[in-house]
Amino acid sequence: ASTPPDFDSLALPHVAALHAYTPGLQPTEPGWIKLNTNECPYPPSPAVAKAVAAELGADGAAGEVGAALRLYPEPTSAVLRAAIAAHHNTTLSAAGINGTSALRVANVCVGNGSDDILNLLVRCFCAEGAGQGSESGRAAGFTLPSYSLYPVLVGIANGQSIEIKFDRSMRLPLEQIASSGAAIFFLTSPNAPTGVGFSAAQIEALLAAYDGLLVVDEAYAPFAREDAVGLLARYPRLIVVRTFSKAYALAGIRVGYCLAHERVIALLDRVRDSYNVNRLSQAAALAALGDPQYYAHVIARVCATRDAALTRFAEQGWFCYPSQANFLFVEPRNGRGETGAAVAQAAYDFLRERRILVRHFPSPLTAPFLRITVGTDEQMLTLWHTLQEWLHHA
Ligand code: PMP
């Protein structure tokens, strides 16, 4: 056998230097209370499993089971795009936003999770080597903290990242974003990992002050009071990103999408994989959109559990951001009343030893906190009792 070459030196230098995104743990064995990756604690609508079975031919309707999998999926997810546009138009008119704002199929692009969409946006709008020479106007900006995939995607593109820090108040740093020089800015609203949501008026003020492309990553917007979809008709520089992973309980099926000006969508369609959303996923997402009552119920339940947990933490004297998402960002206080990175780490370890998984981010801004996904009421009660045990243990 010959010695393998030094692959790192064969790789492009920016690839060899990359730090990959660290996903939350996905234990394969049962028995965990999994509150670490913001999944939905309830199953998807029963219509989803039916639609997947029908797509597989497992419903006995016709042909051999699985026969449809011989064929590529419809390349543009056309039926799903139309259903997404229709879904948002229904929501907009229910909110009294008039018909001239209606979204069309040409305003929708669907991806293999919203991660795929974020990647396509970076591919289209973030220049290689930005900031290091003539392309200084094509850097990508985002806030700290926010979704830590953004810098990884920019790194893969060998582009330049511009980081704008929140302070502890989590007030929107509008002026700093406006003067950042970023060609494209990723704003997570509600923010991750804090859960703090920005109002449509705040997003509109940002659009007035900042003249680049503004991507509002609304992965958690179904749990929020407001979103930015109603601004799309008036602001062609706005791109709204959504996912089926959280509120639709379909993280395992990988479907996300964005709403944007049709010329932005046309660019994304040029750079995406031809068959970026598989057959089963298209069918599953379509079925989920067809059962709005079920999801209204699920979302209301998650929000009620969230608000009850928030109250409990406040009564305990633990600081927690007012979340508009399906998770809470809480600063644990130990039995001696202390907070900080070591305290949060100790709480994390205690929970993990008892098979409760939450998230702990090591950067200085986030280290004193734990991000806790909202589970079922029963799971949250177990979490609460375990945290009480931790308080009295040390
Ligand atoms: N945006 C944010 C803010 C997220 O937290 C996540 C999930 N980790 C995503 C996008 C990606 O979700 P998905 O690819 O499952 O659609």
**Structural domain ending residue among the three candidates 251, 272, 290:** 290
> What are residue 53's DSSP bridge partners?
none
Q: How do 140-144 and 184-188 pair as beta strands?
A: parallel
Distances (CA, A) of 129 to 14, 119, 153, 200: 10, 17, 13, 33
The total domain count for the chain is 2
Residue 217 Cβ inside 6 Å of ligand 1? The answer reads yes
Band (pLDDT 50/70/90 cuts) for residue 330 is very high
Q: Identify whether residues 258 and 299 lie together within a single domain.
A: no
CA distance 195 to 240: 17
Judged by DSSP in three states, 312 sits in: helix
Q: What is the mean pLDDT of the chain?
A: 94
Whole-structure pTM value: 0.96
Q: Which atom of ligand 1 is nearest to the CA of 243?
A: 16
Pocket probe for ligand 1: among 38, 117, 147, the residue whose CB has the most ligand atoms within 8 Å is 147
Nearest by Cα to 217 from 142, 311, 322: 142
Decide which of 224, 257, 290 is a domain's last residue: 290
pLDDT recorded at residue 195: 98
The residue nearest atom 6 of ligand 1, judged by CA position, is 219
Do 298 and 286 lie in a common domain? no
14 located within any domain? no
Q: Do 95 and 162 sit in the same domain of this protein?
A: yes
List the structure tokens of 241.
């990103």
Q: Is the CB of 323 under 6 A from ligand 1?
A: no
Query: Considering only CA atoms, which of 282, 231, 239, 253 is closest in space to residue 84?
Result: 282
Task: Confirm or reject: Cβ of 115 under 6 Å from ligand 1.
Answer: yes
User: For ligand 1, atom 1, which residue shows the shortest CA distance?
Assistant: 219
Q: Does 89 map to a domain?
A: yes
> Both 74 and 219 in a single domain?
yes
Is residue 1 assigned to a domain? no
Rounded to 10 degrees, the C-alpha dihedral 341/40/275/231 comes to -80
Q: What does the pLDDT read at residue 133?
A: 47
pLDDT class of 95 with cuts at 50, 70, 90: confident
Rounded distance between C-alpha atoms, residue 120 and residue 124, angstroms: 6
Ligand 1 centroid from CA 64, angstroms = 35
Pocket test for ligand 1, best of 220, 245, 257 (most atoms within 8 A of CB): 245
Strand partners for 357? 34
pLDDT at 197: 98
| 145 CA from centroid of ligand 1 (Å) | 14
Please classify residue 192 by burial: count the beta carbons closer than 10 Å to its beta carbon, then call 0-12 exposed, 13-18 middle and 19+ buried. buried
Residue at 11 is within a domain:
no
pLDDT of 266 strictly over 60:
yes
Atom of ligand 1 nearest to the CA of 146: 3
| 343 plus 259 within the same structural domain | no
Q: Which two tokens stand for residue 123?
A: 């591919």
With pLDDT > 90 as the criterion, what percentage of the chain qualifies? 89
Non-local (6+) Cβ contacts of 345 within 8 A are 360, 367
Mutate to test the pocket of ligand 1, among 26, 110, 114 (most ligand atoms within 8 A of CB): 114
Nearest residue to 196 (alpha-carbon basis) of 213, 178, 221, 229: 221
pLDDT in tens, 146-202: 999 999 999 999 999 999 999 999 999 999 999 999 999 999 999 999 999 999 999
The protein residue whose alpha carbon is closest to atom 8 in ligand 1 is 37
Integer distance in angstroms from the first to the last C-alpha of the chain? Answer: 55
On whether both 74 and 148 belong to a single domain, the answer is: yes
**Ligand 1 mean position to 121 CA, how many Å?**
14
Is the pLDDT at 53 greater than 90? The verdict is yes
Instruction: Give, to the nearest 10 degrees, the angle between helix 279-289 and helix 78-94.
Output: 20
Judge if 253 and 383 occupy the same domain: no
Lowest mean pLDDT among 68-82, 94-108, 323-337: 94-108
pLDDT at 293: 98
Helices (H) and strands (E) in the chain, counts: 13, 12
For residues 383 and 329, membership in a common domain is answered with yes
CATH number, domain with residue 357: 3.90.1150.10
Nearest atom in ligand 1 to the alpha carbon of residue 244 is: 16
* CB of 251 closer than 6 angstroms to any ligand 1 atom: yes
Beta-carbon contacts of 262 under 8 Å, excluding residues fewer than 6 positions away, are 104, 106, 107
Q: Which domain holds residue 173?
A: 48-290
CB distance 243 to ligand 1 below 6 Å: yes
Write the burial class of residue 322 (CB in 10 Å: 0-12 exposed, 13-18 middle, 19+ buried). Answer: middle
Instruction: Answer whether 366 contacts ligand 1 (Cβ < 6 A).
Output: no
CATH number of the domain where residue 80 is located: 3.40.640.10
- Domain for residue 4, yes or no? no
3 assigned to some structural domain = no
- CB burial class (10 A; 0-12, 13-18, 19+) of residue 364? exposed
Rg of the chain, C-alpha, whole Å? 22
Last residue of a domain, one of 290, 310, 325: 290
- Identify whether residues 158 and 270 lie together within a single domain: yes
Half-sphere exposure for 216 (CA within 13 Å, toward CB): 29
pLDDT attached to residue 98 = 65
Alpha-helical segments (H) within the chain: 7-10, 13-16, 46-56, 78-94, 113-125, 149-156, 174-178, 200-209, 262-271, 279-289, 292-316, 341-353, 377-393
Indicate if 278 and 326 belong to the same structural domain.
no
Give the distance (Å) from ligand 1 centre to CA of residue 207: 23
* 155 part of a folded domain: yes
* Predicted local confidence at residue 63, as pLDDT: 77
Report the nearest atom of ligand 1 relative to the CA of 112: 14
- Of 112, 115, 150, 152, the residue with max ligand 1 atoms within 8 A of its CB, to mutate for a pocket test, comes to 115
Reported as type and span, the H/E element at residue 34 is strand 33-34
* 217 SS3 class: strand
SS3 for 226-283 is CCCHHHCCCCCCEEEEEECCCCCCCHHHCCEEEECCHHHHHHHHHHCCCCCCCHHHHH
Q: How far does residue 243's CA lie from ligand 1's centre (Å)?
A: 7
